[in-house]
């Protein structure tokens, strides 16, 4: 069996988090790792043995976080995935591949409403949407996450999103999240939008035009920048450009989002007709979120390469706050007992010419052999 070096990088970060969050009584073993006397695998195994094969016996107190769950964390790491060797989809547990791809198509479409995802049975964003609904419409209703009451409320919420378009337009919208930023960055300024909405009123238009003329103001409308379209065009016309970046984290609009962008921005780079992508992620849920993010950006890189006539080379993933939630410790310990299978491959329909044409029938993950699913609760 060929070694899956891509997945080994992910497993390395998991072990690093355990090692760097170990209790003080394991200081001697950790110092040997820091001095290079022990490899990361040897250090993890020694710690696990010393902790009676129970990861919770090794880990020190967790750090408090926004969700109230608590995390074991490190700051700063880099993983590099060679896309010429296969597709970096984790095999040490089963991954919801259709959900990854449908979410990516949703980003590319510019949509920010969960309704299209719900109709495709993709529930990735449902907890964040429900939490926002409860905070704004039922502020005194303190439902415990994942309780029976929460699950009942979620079923009610999803039914209303499906059946009531007016309800969906209001409560299914996540605010200007990824799709909005990729396809219309800066186009959600409430002041500009209010002006544009009033320009059909001729009295308002005349006064506004006079004001602009009197004070030498320039009005360009409320539309923002289609960042994805621009970088694809640059790849076709000026592939050596060093300004091919797409930003998802927009400080001006964080307050209007149900969740500020975790994968904050990415940059594209070409050499010898090969395309690479580097993405910075500010917050990295190592068990649930990050496996999705790795596969999503690897697929995006391949798709962009496809429509620009390039060959996908490498995806580089820079991690900011990389963390294991305190309620995922047992799952991580189980996952680290698994040996990775060889990488699967990604097939893209050769007839596709534009990035918006991709859909679930035109992107396929093939030869995906994996271990069983390992479930864990999401924190929001």
Buried b (16+ CB within 10 A) or exposed e, 317-348: bbbbbbbbbbbbbebbbebbebebbbbbebeb
Residue 86 — very low, low, confident or very high, per pLDDT cuts 50/70/90? very high
Q: In what order do the strands lie in the sheet with 274-285?
A: 71-82, 311-325, 274-285, 263-271, 245-247
Alpha helices, DSSP H only, in the chain?
Answer: 5-20, 27-34, 40-50, 55-58, 97-109, 115-119, 126-137, 148-163, 165-171, 178-184, 190-198, 202-214, 227-237, 289-308, 329-335
Task: Please name the residues in contact with 87: beta carbons below 8 A apart, sequence gap of 6 or more.
Answer: 295, 298, 299, 302, 343, 344, 345, 346, 365
pLDDT at 196: 82
The model carries a pTM of 0.93
How far, in Å, CA of 277 to CA of 82, rounded?
A: 11
CATH superfamily, domain at 66-112+228-325+341-380? Thymidylate synthase/dCMP hydroxymethylase domain (3.30.572.10)
What would the mean pLDDT of 1-7 be, rounded to a whole number?
A: 80
The pLDDT value recorded for residue 138 is 86
Q: What is the pLDDT of residue 365?
A: 98
* Residue positions annotated with a catalytic role: 262
Residue 223: its pLDDT value, please?
82
pLDDT class of 2 with cuts at 50, 70, 90: low
Is residue 281 a contact partner of residue 293, using CB atoms and an 8 Å limit? yes
pLDDT in tens, 347-366: 999 999 999 999 999 999 99
Q: What is the mean pLDDT of residues 266-275?
A: 98
Residues 348 and 362: beta-carbon distance below 8 Å:
yes
d(CA 338, CA 4) in angstroms, rounded, equals 12
pLDDT at 345: 97
Distance of CA 39 to the CA centre of its chain: 30
**Which residues, in sequence order, are bridge partners of residue 312?**
275
Cβ neighbour number for residue 128 with a 10 Å cutoff: 17
pLDDT at 153: 96
pLDDT of residue 199: 86
Position with higher pLDDT, 204 vs 285: 285
Residue 1 predicted with pLDDT over 70: no
CB atoms within 10 A of CB 349: 13
pLDDT band at 190; cut points 50, 70, 90: confident
Q: CA-to-CA distance for 117 and 158, rounded, in angstroms? A: 11
CA-closest candidate to residue 11, choices 32, 34, 39, 31: 39
* Cβ neighbours around 249 below 10 Å, total: 17
Note whether 89 and 343 are within 8 A (CB). Answer: yes
Averaged over 89-98, what is the pLDDT? 98
CA angle 70, 260, 244 (to 5 degrees): 125
pLDDT tens figures, 205-258: 888 888 888 888 887 776 899 999 999 999 999 999 999 999 999 999 999 999
Bridge partners, 73 (sequence order): 323
User: Among 240, 231, 233, which residue's Cα sits nearest to residue 269?
Assistant: 240
Question: For the residues 263-275, what does the mean pLDDT come to?
Answer: 98
Q: How far apart are CA 369 and CA 380, in angstroms?
A: 30
User: Averaged over 290-295, what is the pLDDT?
Assistant: 98
Q: Which part of the chain is CATH 3.30.572.10?
A: 66-112+228-325+341-380
Name the average pLDDT for the chain: 95
Helix (H) or strand (E) holding 72: strand 71-82
pLDDT winner (highest mean) among 97-106, 131-140, 196-205, 221-230: 97-106
Report d(CA 177, CA 107) in Å as an integer: 9
């Amino acid at each position: 069996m060929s070694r899956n070096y891509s997945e080994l990088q992910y497993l390395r970060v998991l072990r690093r988090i355990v090692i760097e969050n170990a209790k003080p009584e394991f200081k001697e073993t950790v110092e040997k790792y820091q001095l290079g006397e022990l490899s990361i695998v040897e250090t993890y195994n020694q710690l696990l043995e010393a902790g009676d094969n129970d990861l919770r016996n090794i880990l020190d107190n967790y750090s408090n976080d926004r969700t109230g769950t608590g995390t074991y964390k490190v700051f700063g790491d880099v993983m590099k995935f060679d896309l010429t060797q296969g597709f970096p989809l984790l095999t040490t547990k089963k991954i919801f591949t259709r959900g990854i791809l449908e979410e990516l198509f949703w980003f590319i479409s510019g949509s920010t409403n969960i309704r299209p995802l719900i109709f495709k049975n993709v529930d990735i964003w449902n907890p964040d949407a429900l939490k926002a609904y409860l905070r704004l419409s039922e502020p005194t209703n303190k439902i415990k996450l994942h309780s029976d009451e929460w699950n009942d409320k979620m079923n009610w919420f999803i039914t209303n999103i499906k059946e009531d378009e007016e309800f969906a337009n209001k409560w299914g919208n996540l605010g200007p999240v990824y799709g909005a930023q990729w396809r219309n960055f800066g186009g959600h300024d409430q002041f500009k939008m209010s002006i544009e909405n009033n320009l059909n009123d001729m009295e308002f238009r005349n006064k506004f035009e006079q004001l602009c003329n009197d004070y030498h103001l320039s009005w360009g409308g409320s539309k923002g920048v289609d960042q994805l379209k621009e970088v694809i065009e640059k790849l076709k016309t000026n592939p050596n450009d060093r300004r091919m970046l797409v930003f998802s984290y927009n400080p001006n609009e964080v307050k209007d989002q149900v969740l500020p962008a975790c994968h904050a921005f990415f940059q594209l780079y070409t050499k010898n007709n090969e395309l690479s992508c580097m993405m910075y992620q500010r917050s990295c849920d190592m068990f649930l979120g990050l496996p999705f993010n790795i596969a999503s950006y690897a697929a995006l890189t391949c798709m962009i390469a496809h429509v620009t006539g390039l060959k996908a080379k490498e995806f580089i993933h820079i991690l900011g706050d990389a963390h294991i939630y305190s309620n995922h410790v047992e799952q991580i310990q189980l996952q680290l007992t698994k040996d990775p299978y060889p990488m699967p491959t990604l097939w893209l329909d050769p007839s596709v010419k534009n990035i918006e044409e991709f859909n679930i029938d035109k992107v396929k993950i093939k030869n995906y052999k994996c271990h069983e699913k390992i479930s864990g609760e999401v924190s929001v």
